[in-house]
Each structure stands twice: as C-alpha cells, then as structure tokens.
Structure 1
C-alpha cells in the first residue's frame, strides 16, 4: 500500500475565516440582546446569522463558548477608561461617561447581554460562572487601581465593589423598568457619593 498517497488523500480542515468569525461574534451579541439568553438554541441562532449550527460548533465548540467569545469582543478597554486619573472630579466624569456609554451609547447592546449572562452565572455549576467571575474581577481590579491613585479614597477595593455592583444593579433596574430619569439620577448619586 502506498502510504504517501493515502496520507495526502485525507481531507484537510478548512482554515478559519477570521473576518467571518468576527462578523458572527458581533451578530451573536445583537441576536441575544433582541431575543434573550434563556431559550438560546444553536439552530435558530445559526439560521438568523445565515450559517449552520455545524459551522458555529466548528468555529466555537459550544454554545456557551460562542457567547463567551462574543462578549469578550465587546468588553471595553477598562484600563484606558480609568487611566491617567489625577483627581476625584476626573474619575466621577469618567464613571458618568462610562454609565452613559453603557445605557445609551456603544456599550448598551452588550450590557443587555452581559446582565443576562451574570444572572445565568448565579446558577450552581452554571456554564458562565468562570466568565462572569473574570469579568467582575477585571472591572473591580481595574477600578481599584484607578482609585488607588487618588489620596481621597479610603478602601479603594470596597469603593470599586460598591460602584461596580451598584451601577450594575441600577442598569438592571433601568432595563426592567425602562425608567431612564430615575436610574440616571441614582447612578449620578452613587458616583458622586462613592468618589468624593
């Protein structure tokens, strides 16, 4: 038997199309923001994205990994958001800008999905627990580092936790109730009182 011809007659795996992959990841976040995470199934998702569930598995392995990678592409550069802070007023301004970005700006769609993932991560042995823990730790850690540069902030890690958890709760309130004015006032009050 000619092993050389057998070896070369095997089908080769198709290389990943990185542009298509990026397009899929972006579309996944929009799809879940519109339809929700609870009943997410690969076949309807694939159909809406103009591909097959087999291709989604090929690119991402599992439904959960697909969502985790999609959210990772939408994660803001938190280091840049909280870099070069020199006083409490600058930090309050950055936090307010970040709030606005996550409620009415570029981050609004991914925040809607992120809140659903964080809720699902609360279930014991949930598939998103690792991602959620990492996302929270990154946000709290980055904000803590920014707060440490200000001499006026006591217990930076506690203040960062208060801000991250508090603003996330107010965001969830806003998405559930649709009350923009009250939640904006609450976010502003939290930022102003936490960062003096």
Structure 2
C-alpha cells in the first residue's frame, strides 16, 4: 500500500490546532518548544519530528493564522457575479463589524504581532507575511468594486485607502479598547467612501 505523505497525520493536525490556540493566547514572537509542548500535551521531540524544528512549527502556525484571516475576508466576498459588486463602503462596514467584535481580538492581536515581526525580520521565518496579508486584503476589496472601478488608478487608490483605514482603526482598537470612538471614525470614512463612489469622474 502506498502512503500519502503529503497528507498530515491526525496527530499533526491535532497538535497544530493546539499550538495555534496556544499562540492566540501567548503570541509567537517568543515561542519556546518546551513550554508549548507541556501546554498542549506533547513533547519537544514529537513536535520536532512532526514539524522539523521550531521554525517549521512557526511556519505552520502562521499558515493556520492566515487561513483564519482569509476566512474573515470571505465575509465580504461577492456572489461571484462581477456586476453584483457590493462596493467598498459596504465591504468596509462588514469587515469592521467582524474586526471590532470582542471575540475576535485574540486572533487580531496575533495578526498584529505577526505583521509587525514580519517587517522587522524580513528574512526570517516571518518574512513575507505582511506583504501577503496586504495582497489578500486588496484582492478582496478589489472584488467588491464595480469592474469599471477596480481596474482604474482611482479604484486602486480608493481600496488602498480603505485598507489603510481598516488597518489603522484595528491597531487603534487593539491598543486602546475604545470601540465606540474608533467605530465612529470608521463610519465617518464610510461616508467619504460612499461620496467618492457617487462623485462624477
């Protein structure tokens, strides 16, 4: 019988999920295999066997975190009909509603840590995470724009601004916990996005 080695074992999947939950609570920047293994009911030797080394495990957890990020973005995807694009204002409103929810703050703190670490350690295991997440978000925001907007320089600038508002608001919320103030600022920007969509070209 041929064994498919590209499919992770059930134990590897189980430990990855446990390591991901641990990272959500404790972060990844100072991850150490011994306390992680003790917390998730494994051993450093088993983790090294399954993931290669600490960097391999970190990469796996980062990929798992990115999968959750992409799941967030799916909340604003259109039905696939380019004529049914929901527009940037609606996309930002839906995304912010998800980002501002208290139950998602652990995931978003991990995202912020990983984003920042990717910038200061571009050649390490974190390298490319920040750039990849920008591409992911811009792609989804582009899909929310009408076809005549998404392929124009103005459309590119407007979705870049929308992403900047969301990212800045998220960092402010994580730093201060002031949901009402930050949400009011996002809603102010939504009005500007709606005005921009209706403005003559």
The TM-score bracket by the shorter chain reads 0.7 to 0.9
C-alpha separation in 2, matches of 1:177 and 1:46: 32
What's the CA shift string for 1:105-128, capped at 9, x where partnerless? 664432221111001011143431
In the alignment, what sits opposite 1:57? 48
In the TM superposition, 1:49-88 aligns within 5 A as 49-61=40-52, 62-77=56-71, 78=73, 81-84=76-79
The verdict on how the C-alpha distance between 1:56 and 1:90 changes in structure 2, with shifts beyond 3 A counting, is same
Q: Secondary structure at the match of 2:191?
A: helix
Deviation at 1:181, TM superposition (A): 0.8
C-alpha separation in 1, matches of 2:179 and 2:110: 19
Q: Secondary structure at the match of 2:30?
A: coil
C-alpha separation in 2, matches of 1:60 and 1:70: 14
C-alpha separation in 1, matches of 2:97 and 2:160: 19
Contact 1:27–1:49 (8 Å) recurs in 2? yes
Contact 2:173–2:179 (8 Å) recurs in 1? yes
In the alignment, what sits opposite 2:167? 168
C-alpha separation in 1, matches of 2:85 and 2:105: 25
What's the CA shift string for 1:134-192, capped at 9, x where partnerless? 12112112212322436599712211211212211211111111111111112222233
Q: Is the counterpart of residue 114 in structure 1 residue 111 in structure 2?
A: yes
The verdict on how the C-alpha distance between 1:89 and 1:135 changes in structure 2, with shifts beyond 3 A counting, is closer
What is the alpha-carbon root mean square deviation over aligned residues?
3.2
Deviation at 1:15, TM superposition (A): 9.3
TM-score, normalized by length of structure 1?
Answer: 0.75
C-alpha separation in 2, matches of 1:16 and 1:89: 37
With 115-124 and 100-109 compared, the bigger mean Cα shift is at 100-109
Deviation at 1:34, TM superposition (A): 2.1
In the alignment, what sits opposite 1:95? 92
TM-score, normalized by length of structure 2?
Answer: 0.74
